[in-house]
Structure 1
Amino acid sequence: MPDVSANPKLPAATELAWLDDPSIAPQVVTLTAGTLRLVIAPAIGGALAAFYESTANGPRHWMRPASHAAFTERDPLRMASFPLFPYCNRIRNARFGFDGAIVDLSGNDPRFAHALHGNAWRRPWQVGALTQNSVDLHFEHEPDSRIAGDWPFRYRARQRIELSDQALRITLSAQNLAGRPMPFGMGHHPYYPRTRQTRIYADVAAMWHADAHVLPTRLGPHPAVDALRRDGLSPDAFDLDNNFANWAREATIAWPDESRQLTMTAEAPFDHMVIFAPVDDSQLCVEPVTNTTDCFNASGPREHVGGCVLQPGEELSATVTWTPKRM
């Protein structure tokens, strides 16, 4: 078994300066394969801190690297990517009806009026099996009635993270440990470098239009759908924080000015994709998810809404792969 007791020396770069902080370095796990590197922060929501290629000119980032504040403030929103369990995106007013009762998630985070992204991204994950190029991360949720808005179902989540010299592969899985059915969804929330020339390509069927609270109103056509399917979508073209239904489970983020691209592929039931590209902003997310926003309250065909119900003991697993390519 390779020696993984210490992280390998990383190239000096402003974006990765936090690795020189003695209070941060012990918090991360680094995987290596060929020239690819993946830095993981298990204690900060099981998040990825950096995914890059080591080059003679310094790191070439395939995801936006974490900021120093992401570590000091333990904020997954400023990481490179983080897992979403047991649902993705917002739940209207932090409430929904299920199995004859109201599930009240209000109060779990005063920053948000609507429940956001579940709870696994707010908790530390445990490191399991670890090699030079792979790691298992585990999170088990035990409901606590003393915590306002706590998810009331017991479940176990896992990330199997594998890095080859060609790609990053993450298998997400969850098992319902409650003695009753549990509503469920999962995903990952990657941020990408954003430039004026960045383009996104994906075969999608339609977009969920949203209100001022970023909650879905109707599924239908939009110029962004046409751009994604044809000439590529510029992140600057629209002010987006929207779900796209029934994509082909493949999307490419391209940086033609840098002669490179990153292709993300996903297995079912990752049948939904979110694009977060706010206007006049540096953020860009293209997220594989199993459910649309507010899926537990949404009406419509299951293929348009997503999500599922896990029976007691039932487990769901699916893989997302990111493949970099130099043109």
Structure 2
Amino acid sequence: MISRPPPSPPPDLLFDAAALDDGQLVTLAHGDTRALVAPHVGGSIAAFYEAAGEAPSFHWLRPATRAAIDARDPLGMASFPLMPYCNRIRDGRFRFEGEMIDLPSGSGALRHALHGHAWRRPWTVEAQTADTLTLHFLHEPHDTQGSRGSGPRTGTGWPFRYEARQHLTLDARGLTVRLWARNLATWPMPFGLGHHPYYPRTAGTRIAARVRAMWEIDAEVLPVSLNAHPAVDALQDGLVVDDFDLDNNFSGWRREALIEWPHEGQRLALHASAPLDFFVLFSPRGLPYFCAEPVSNTTDWLNLRHAETVRRIDVGGTVLAPGETLEAQLAWLPERS
């Protein structure tokens, strides 16, 4: 779908240094590069930028606003973690090992549970140096008995106990995030993870990535069929973000992407490890940002995996045995001229 390029966002929207002067943010520094982290706002990254001397800062990710920091709103941050699943679960419900899991949800479009819960809760600083940070998160389900076979858990939330960590490293190459999770329940737990970054969007911004197919969506942004699409070919050559109005999952991602801001002379490589084999591109027209998300499961994977026409390789996600761990890594690497 072709759309008019949005106007370039004003500098004070992208580069509001005063908004980031907040004592609750943890600063990682390496040379002229900075990464600011907000453990209390869902373990989010608040900013990732470079400032050389008196030259203007360039933000590789859309920095957090003052309003987002004050409101502790992860949706206004630079990037936030996705656990224990990525994106939506249809109607906030899924069946797992014979039991119906019913997650808290709202009404209308919000009845579809969104992005798990780790992004909505504070994380704890476990370790810190000048250029590294380890955050810890522990989920204790409301069902403290942890019993099985008791029927649907209506609105009780994620019934599986688990812990997670994010280990962030800022070095000469860029910013690396290692995600880790362990099942602390006494029975198997379905699990997915990823990160939800926002990128500045100026006229001509483009992204290149190799993917196999795109999930078409219904009116409520839930996947219904996996098909070829012009965006698949465009991504291989370098998709101009303004040319496509998308909120779609891509299957068969090669775990690499390159974002370019040609007018600013900037390039950012995104690299990921397995199981981050899926890719979400969110580029609605008229906004001064877009999202390119490395994730381990497609939207609604916990329901799609039961469909006879869908292959396991197309939906992702995993099931962790008691005590089993899952790990993934992603990195944003500026390609400096």
TM-score by length of 1: 0.92
Deviations, residues 99-141 of structure 1 (Å, cap 9, x unaligned):
1010000337998220000010000000011000001000000
Describe the SS at the equivalent of 2:23: helix
Q: Does 1:48 align with 2:49?
A: no
**CA deviation map 1:161-220 (0-9, x unaligned):** 000022111000100000010011000000001011100000111101111111001111
Aligned to 1:288: 294
Name the SS for the 2:79 alignment partner.
Answer: coil
Match of 1:93 among 80, 86, 91: 91
Counterpart of 1:83 in structure 2 is 81
Query: Which residue pairs with 2:334 in the alignment?
Result: 324
> Could you say what secondary structure the match of 1:312 adopts?
coil
Alignment size in residue pairs:
310
Q: What SS does structure 2 have at the residue aligned with 1:296? A: helix
Pick closer, same or farther for the CA change 1:196–1:113 going to 2, 3 Å.
Answer: same
Unaligned runs of 5+ in 1: 1-12
**Alignment check: 8 A CA contact 1:18 1:68 kept:** yes
Superposition CA RMSD, Å: 1.7
Matches within 5 A, 1:158-169: 158-169=165-176
Contact 2:36 2:46 in 1 (8 A): yes
The structural deviation recorded for 1:283 is: 2.5
Provide runs of 4+ in structure 1 moved above 2 Å.
106-111, 145-149
Selected match of 1:137 from 135, 138, 146? 135
Whether 1:16 aligns to 2:23 is: no
| Structure showing greater relative contact order (alpha-carbon pairs closer than 8 Å, 6 or more residues apart) | 2
Matched, 1:201 2:242: no
Match of 1:32 in 2: 29
8 Å contact from structure 1 (residues 28, 41) kept in 2: yes
**Does the Cα contact within 8 Å between 1:36 and 1:52 map onto a contact in 2?**
yes
Q: 1:211 aligns with which of 218, 222, 238?
A: 218
Contact 2:189 2:321 in 1 (8 A): yes
Cα distance in 2 for partners of 1:172, 1:295 equals 20
1:102 equivalent in structure 2: 100
1:170 is aligned to 2:167: no
Structure 2 unaligned segments of length 5 or more: list them: 1-13, 145-153
**Taking structure 1 as reference, are residues 213 and 253 closer, same or farther at Cα in structure 2, changes over 3 Å only?**
same
**Contact 2:60 / 2:200 at 8 angstroms: preserved in 1?**
yes
Asked whether the 8 Å contact 1:247–1:273 carries over to 2, the reply is yes
| 8 Å CA contact retained: 2:62, 2:200 | yes
Code of the aligned partner of 2:140:
E
| Distance of aligned partners of 1:219 and 1:14 in 2 relative to their CA distance in 1, 3 Å threshold | closer
What secondary structure sits across from 1:31 in the alignment? strand
Q: Could you report, residue by residue, the CA deviation over 1:5-47 in whole angstroms, capped at 9, with x for unpaired residues?
A: xxxxxxxx95121234xxxx22110000111100000000000
> Could you tell me whether the CA contact under 8 Å between 1:107 and 1:149 is conserved in 2?
no
Q: Secondary structure at the match of 2:133?
A: strand
Change in Cα spacing, 1:279 to 1:301, as seen in structure 2 (3 Å) is: same
Partner SS for 1:160:
strand
Q: Is the 8 A contact 2:20 2:64 kept in 1?
A: no
**Could you tell me which residue of structure 1 aligns to residue 243 of structure 2?**
237
**Residue type of the partner of 2:230?**
P
Quick one: which of 285, 288, 292 aligns to 1:279? 285
> Following TM superposition, by how much is the alpha carbon of 1:77 offset from its aligned partner in structure 2, in angstroms?
0.4
